[in-house]
Amino acid sequence: MEVKLKPPEWDLGNIYIGISDPKIGSDLKVISLKTQKFMNSYKGNVCKLDNDQFYTALREYEAINALSIKVRSFCDLMRLKKTSDHALLSFWQNTSDELNRLSSLLTFFELEVSLIDDKQYCQYLTSLPLKSYKKWFDKLRIARDFFLKEEIEIILHKKDLVGTEFYGRLFDEALANIRFDLDGEVLTLSKILSKLGSNNQRIRKTASKAFARGLENNIQLTSQLLNVIIKDKQIED
């Protein structure tokens, strides 16, 4: 006997109460103000900072990123709850656009940190608070030969929302909108996938055939999206 269970849902109330929560707009404004202040204070000056100033810059950078991650995580989780909800998709798109724009303004920081010379690097590591960032420093120093000019890095950063990430989202939405006919019952993607995990062999077999039929009926769109994603990744590499 198959037990029907209600799928679990994320409780995101401890982050924001919903997509209309005014705190989201307030946090975006805080991110914007802090980002502008950070850029004005440190752009072109990172290598000139003493130990205390550099530590202060790192803490400010972390605070901006932490708040940005909070907003972005909420957006992503809300979108994944119901990928076919147009209001949620619009909210996700608008918020992601703003976060992408703001984070592109911080591109300079890690680029400048990666170019700190060995003498300055060693000087920073004499500071106990800065020693905890050694692995992060080393990672950037290893990657510096592969960084592009700031202008190009910013272009690639802004392209994220209309490149692989965009088509990946479109692919997810296309799959979410497919309906699968299982013995006359019309099922969504999540429901047909749950049938594939049934402990009843007959249900699994019937579900797998229904799943294959549903994908086959939409193969032109999904294959085109996958090809675009692959090509975009190939160009970036």
Cα(164)–Cα(145) distance, integer angstroms: 24
What is the dihedral sign for C-alpha 138, 142, 145, 150?
negative
Q: Where are the domains of the chain?
A: 22-148, 173-236
On the question of pLDDT at 37 being above 90, the answer is yes
Tokens found for residue 151: 């202008």
Is the distance from CB of 60 to CB of 35 less than 8 angstroms?
Answer: no
Query: Which CATH architecture best describes the domain 22-148?
Result: Up-down Bundle (1.20)
Check residue 1 and give its pLDDT: 47
pLDDT tens digit sequence for 67-91: 999 999 999 888 877 766 788 888 9
The model's pLDDT over 116-148, given as tens digits with 9 standing for 90+, comes to: 999 999 999 999 999 999 999 999 999 888 887
Three-state DSSP at 149 gives coil
pLDDT of 3 higher than 60: no
Is the pLDDT score of 6 beyond 70?
A: no
pLDDT for the residue 120: 95
